[in-house]
Structure 1
Amino acid sequence: MSALSGILLKLGSVVLFVVMSALIKAASADVPPGEAVFFRSFLALPVIVVWLAARRQLTTGLKTTNPLGHLWRGLIGVSAMGCTFAGLGMLPLPEVTAIGFAAPILTVVFGALLLGERIRLFRMSAVSVGLVGVTIIVWPRLTLDNAQSGAALGAGLVLLSCVFRALAQIQIRRLVAHEDTAAIVFYFSLMSTLLSLLTVPFGWVVPSPNTAALLVSAGLIGGIAQILITSAYRHAEAGLLAPFDYAAMLFALVIGYVVFGDVPTTWMLAGASLVIASGVAIIWRERQLGLKRGRARSGMAPQG
């Protein structure tokens, strides 16, 4: 029953994160990405604080022995969110979701380069397949027409966000050695809120009531989703839950079509299939090798 609870919590977080992305996309025409990051981070803080207090973990969530580590994680994470939110304003929701699946693949590469983790032939092959899938998704965007419309820039920004997200995952792996997951979740939202304020000189606007409602909803939903994903890893191991991340593709396709009229292309679906297959293969191999990613994954939001 505990495993089932973990799966349901994980699926709930996946749905909410896709809904949050849809809300950010709907608001993207009216507010700059930095302002969207602020609302996403600031409104999540009270949700996280109430959750920690209810679990009597508020002291744990505020206690840290590595403030510089949290600052570095915040810098990387806020960069990832900013790039993703900017990309959402330029690309269909399902496409942003599909490209975003490159982050776990890049995490394997950075794990080898920065943490000295060994990549054997199986995972190296899976990484190669995933990168081919990302290329298939992005390639149609690299045309003159798409460059003029901003779609090429959007694809580049989402790819850059994947790099930042992978680096954030590496930083979380370092933090979990000495920091509680509650502290990682809390300080990420706090650092993201403060760092996003640095973008005020770059064109913040007073949102309309409708846009403000979208942003506030995105922040609250993002906070709840973060709690669900953190709770999920308390009930089930990472290897069991990780494949459910890819359910986001299904929800993104449905929401993208119903809300925004986004019709996926054959190229996008083909590339996404390869990226998802690669990710599942890597997860399966990590589970076979007994690698522990639960605490690190529980502190990792899809946007950073």
Structure 2
Amino acid sequence: MLLPSASAPVGNIEPPSADDPPRAIAFIVISTVLFAVLWVVVKLLSPRYSVYELTFFRNFFAIIPAVLMLVHYGDFGVLRVKRISGHVWRAVLGITAMMLGFASYTLMPLANAVAISFMSPLVITALSVPLLGEKVGPWRWSAVVVGFVGVLVIVNPGEGFLTTGALVAIGGAAVTALAMITIRQLNRSDKPVAIVFYFALFATLFSALPLPFVWVTPQGWDWALLIGAGLSGGFGQHFMTRAFALAPAAVVSPFNYVSLIWSTAAGWLFWGDLPASNVYFGAAIVIASGLVILWRETRRGVKF
């Protein structure tokens, strides 16, 4: 449920290959910490580098963890996928969501942006009807409606308008949902390790296209931060993938929400930002709605 900018993201997973909930929970918490490191670095570097350049470096250095995942898997034959066009489309959606997510971190407090990103499972549920032909019952539709009310509480449009940051964050969450739906479709024929590898590869290629127009040569320690951002994002994806391979989604997914703790702590530590009470209240509503959807989909046997 993390932004692929984030993060990331739910969907790049296999049915549990072993029953080890404690290790799965440890892995998912580690992944949220790594994604939080990525978000902090992006926000720190955003005054000096464009979102396009930050997106490129995040994907370029994430190739390293993706290759390590492939080597660990031990079968390069998984790269022979049925629909390479599906992976291209997933990369387009992924980097779009990533850029919107990165932009939202620069336009509003980090915790606010992360809280809004939790709406992605709600959008996935709503779009699964026309795009995947799934049936959504009253429980999940009710959760979607209540969850969107929670988003409104977070953005607090009481003065009759939404801030640019809120609109960008909402757009990022919506595109993330589209990317996750694409991953669901790819999971039917391709291995998760292949999905992760091709995303890193194509996302790097596509995010390099605008570089001639926005390039700023990194200086000094900025190189270390950029490398750290890519490795954090890539290894965060790795630990998330491993977590879902070790335990059911119903066990693992709720721990994604601890990312709100890290983003709140980082926002206060680096920028002195503390979310208003409406952000916590709205986030609680969105999280509860997401858990209801998770519960219903788990009962239906849906693979995330």
TM-score, normalising length: structure 1: 0.90
1:251 aligns with 2:269: no
Q: Choose the corresponding residue for 2:149, options 132, 135, 138.
A: 132
Q: Choose the corresponding residue for 2:50, options 25, 32, 49.
A: 32
The offset of 1:153, in angstroms, is 1.6
The offset of 1:55, in angstroms, is 3.2
CA distance in 2, matches of 1:30, 1:70: 31
Determine the structure 2 residue equivalent to 1:106: 123
Distance 1:224 1:188, change over 3 A: same
The offset of 1:204, in angstroms, is 2.2
Determine the structure 2 residue equivalent to 1:236: 247
The offset of 1:112, in angstroms, is 1.2
Correspondence list, 1:274-285, <5 A = 274-285=285-296
The offset of 1:202, in angstroms, is 4.0
The offset of 1:51, in angstroms, is 2.8
Secondary structure of the structure 1 residue equivalent to 2:188: coil
Q: Work out whether residues 26 and 214 of structure 1, in 8 Å CA contact, stay in contact via their aligned partners in 2.
A: no
The one-letter code sitting in structure 1 at the alignment partner of 2:261 is L
Q: How many residues align?
A: 286
Secondary structure of the structure 2 residue equivalent to 1:179: coil
The alignment's C-alpha RMSD in Å is: 1.6
Determine the structure 2 residue equivalent to 1:51: 69
Determine the structure 1 residue equivalent to 2:93: 76
1:41 aligns with 2:52: no
Task: Output one character per residue of 1:118-166: Cα deviation in whole Å (capped at 9) or x when no partner.
Answer: 111111111111101111112349667xx8xxxx222111111111110
The offset of 1:265, in angstroms, is 0.5
The one-letter code sitting in structure 1 at the alignment partner of 2:117 is G
TM-score, normalising length: structure 2: 0.90
The one-letter code sitting in structure 2 at the alignment partner of 1:289 is R
Determine the structure 2 residue equivalent to 1:119: 136
Determine the structure 2 residue equivalent to 1:292: 303
1:64 aligns with 2:64: no
- Give aligned-pair identity as a percent: 37
CA distance in 1, matches of 2:251, 2:146: 22
Distance 1:130 1:71, change over 3 A: same
CA distance in 2, matches of 1:64, 1:260: 44
The offset of 1:58, in angstroms, is 3.5
Determine the structure 2 residue equivalent to 1:90: 107
The one-letter code sitting in structure 1 at the alignment partner of 2:64 is P
The offset of 1:260, in angstroms, is 1.9
Task: Output one character per residue of 1:157-197: Cα deviation in whole Å (capped at 9) or x when no partner.
Answer: 11111111100111111111111111100000111101101
Structure 2: segments with no counterpart, 5+ residues: 1-18
Task: Output one character per residue of 1:192-237: Cα deviation in whole Å (capped at 9) or x when no partner.
Answer: 1011012224422112223322211100111111111111111111
1:209 aligns with 2:220: yes
> Which structure has the highest helix share of the two?
1
The one-letter code sitting in structure 2 at the alignment partner of 1:96 is A
Q: Work out whether residues 30 and 211 of structure 1, in 8 Å CA contact, stay in contact via their aligned partners in 2.
A: no
The one-letter code sitting in structure 1 at the alignment partner of 2:27 is L
CA distance in 2, matches of 1:180, 1:105: 25
Q: Work out whether residues 49 and 58 of structure 1, in 8 Å CA contact, stay in contact via their aligned partners in 2.
A: no
Determine the structure 2 residue equivalent to 1:263: 274
Correspondence list, 1:131-170, <5 A = 131-140=148-157, 152-170=163-181
The offset of 1:280, in angstroms, is 1.1
The one-letter code sitting in structure 2 at the alignment partner of 1:66 is R
CA distance in 1, matches of 2:72, 2:115: 35
CA distance in 1, matches of 2:197, 2:242: 14
CA distance in 2, matches of 1:259, 1:157: 22
CA distance in 2, matches of 1:182, 1:156: 33
Q: Work out whether residues 105 and 130 of structure 1, in 8 Å CA contact, stay in contact via their aligned partners in 2.
A: yes
CA distance in 1, matches of 2:135, 2:261: 32
CA distance in 2, matches of 1:201, 1:157: 25
CA distance in 1, matches of 2:58, 2:153: 31
Structure 1: segments with no counterpart, 5+ residues: 294-304
